[in-house]
Homo-oligomer: A and B are copies of this chain.
Amino acid sequence: MTDWFHWLNLAGVAVCAISGTLMAYQKKMDGFGVVVLASVTAIGGGTLRDIMLDLPVFWIKDTDYLYTTLGAALLTIAWLRISPRFPYHYLLVADAFGLALFNVVGMEKALINDAPMSVAIAMGTITGVFGGLLRDVICREVPLVLNGELYAITCITGGLSYAALLYAGFDQHYCPWFALLVTVLMRLAAMRWHWQLPVFKNE
Residues of A within 8 A of B (CB): 24-25, 27-37, 39, 47, 51-54, 56-57, 59-60, 63, 66-67, 77, 80-81, 115-116, 118-119, 122, 129, 133, 137-140, 142-143, 145-153, 156, 196-202
* Cβ contacts A to B, 20 pairs, < 8 Å: A28-B200, A28-B202, A29-B146, A29-B147, A30-B147, A30-B196, A30-B199, A31-B148, A31-B149, A31-B199, A32-B152, A36-B129, A36-B145, A37-B146, A54-B54, A63-B116, A63-B118, A67-B118, A81-B201, A137-B138
From B32, B35, B57, B150, A52 is in contact (CB under 8 Å) with B57
- The dominant DSSP class at the A interface is helix
Known: A31-B198, A59-B119, A137-B137. 12 other contacts (CB 8 A): A29-B199, A30-B199, A31-B199, A32-B145, A32-B153, A34-B199, A35-B152, A47-B52, A60-B115, A63-B116, A80-B200, A140-B140
Residues of chain B within 8 A of A33, CB atoms compared: 143, 145-147, 152
The 9 closest A-B pairs by CB, nearest first: A33-B146, A32-B152, A32-B153, A31-B197, A30-B147, A29-B147, A52-B57, A63-B118, A28-B202
B57 with A56: CB separation less than 8 A: no
Q: Looking at A32, A36, A118, which has the most chain B CB atoms within 10 Å of its CB? A: A32
A151 with B200: CB separation less than 8 A: no
Residues of chain B within 8 A of A24, CB atoms compared: 146
Closest CB of chain B to A157's CB: distance in Å?
Answer: 10
Closest CB of chain B to A84's CB: distance in Å?
Answer: 8
B51 with A51: CB separation less than 8 A: yes
Closest CB of chain B to A79's CB: distance in Å?
Answer: 11
A30 with B198: CB separation less than 8 A: yes
